[in-house]
Amino acid sequence: MALPLSQLQMPDPQRVYAADGTSLATYTWGDLDAPVVVMVHGFASNTHDNWVLTGLERRLAASGLRVIGVDQRGHGRSEKPHEASAYSLSTLATDVETVLDTYLVDTASYLGYSLGGRVGWQVMIDLEDRIERAVLGGVPDGTALDRIVLEEVQAHLDEGAPISDPVTQSYIQLTERVPGNDLRALLALARGMRNDAIIAHPENAPQVPVLFVTGTEDTILDGSRRLADVTPQGRLVEVPGRHHFNTPASRGFRDAATEFLTAGR
């Protein structure tokens, strides 16, 4: 039986090991000598779902970029620790730095969505001399995953208790939609990031060009606007009629990201 096209285009992962020994799955497309863009997916997703199924990795590679996709710790084919101490915004940003170092990449562009967008904000601050420009999709200010009722998720895992909070239910459904997701690992991630907030202030903003891309029906749109407003070289593209979960698959997102990341190439 023939494999689906998306599976045929998914290379075997190349392993990168974080400072704490966590194994990270990474993937590459495009000319090895081309300018690099690092792609980082959202919560409860992975490189395959966010970037391969949407075709964006093929489009960027065809546009002359070398694409490096990263399954964040706790996701995809990367290792999935169950301890909250394994997850923080700075840890996830350092994972990206480790990937760049392992691939011997001095400078790169960055593409992140949702959780990957939050990580990208921190990456640009921590690695300000290594990230040339970035696209941050579906990223608000404030605290990551703060609407999840952690106690309900824990009771659901330990006792099979039903989830009553509708927002938490949606996160559970999102987690269960992707084969291989580990709810205990994703709960640990949510706990680990509870003290990591993005404050929308010019002194805390990246100094490189940043394109924010968010759907007009996304509940975090106002947060994206605030971040774009305080970023010196930031601007916002609003994708009409799209919400948080279907924006990455939209033509508007793909067009805006490709144009911005290939500008001047």
Answer yes or no: is pLDDT of 7 > 80.
Answer: no
In a domain, 184, yes or no: no
For residues 108-119, give the mean pLDDT: 97
Q: What pLDDT score was predicted for residue 202?
A: 84
CATH of the domain at 105: 3.40.50.1820
Answer yes or no: is pLDDT of 25 > 70.
Answer: yes
Grouping H, G, I as helix, E, B as strand and the rest as coil, residue 15 is strand
Give the tokens for residue 265: 């190439």
Q: What pLDDT score was predicted for residue 203?
A: 84
Give the domain range for residue 226: 5-146+197-261
Cβ atoms within 10 Å, residue 256: 20
Q: Are the beta carbons of 253 and 239 closer than 8 angstroms?
A: yes
DSSP code of 79? -
Cβ atoms within 10 Å, residue 43: 22
Answer yes or no: is pLDDT of 264 > 70.
Answer: no
In a domain, 62, yes or no: yes
Angle, alpha carbons 184-48-152 (nearest 5°): 25
Residue predicted with more confidence, 199 or 242: 242
Helices 166-177, 150-159: inter-axial angle, 10-degree rounding: 60
Count of structural domains, the chain: 1
In a domain, 14, yes or no: yes
Q: What pLDDT score was predicted for residue 6?
A: 41
Contacts of 148-153 spanning 24+ positions with Cβ under 8 A: 148/190, 150/187, 150/190, 150/191, 153/183, 153/187, 153/190
Q: What pLDDT score was predicted for residue 8?
A: 44
**pLDDT averaged over the chain?**
93
Answer yes or no: is pLDDT of 255 > 90.
Answer: yes
Q: What pLDDT score was predicted for residue 196?
A: 83
Task: Give the rounded percent of residues in the chain with a pLDDT score beyond 90.
Answer: 84
Answer yes or no: is pLDDT of 251 > 60.
Answer: yes
Answer yes or no: is pLDDT of 1 > 70.
Answer: no
**Residues 43-73 pLDDT 10s:** 999 999 999 999 999 999 999 999 999 999 9
Q: Are the beta carbons of 74 and 189 closer than 8 angstroms?
A: yes
d(CA 207, CA 209): 7
Element (H, E) at 14: strand 14-17
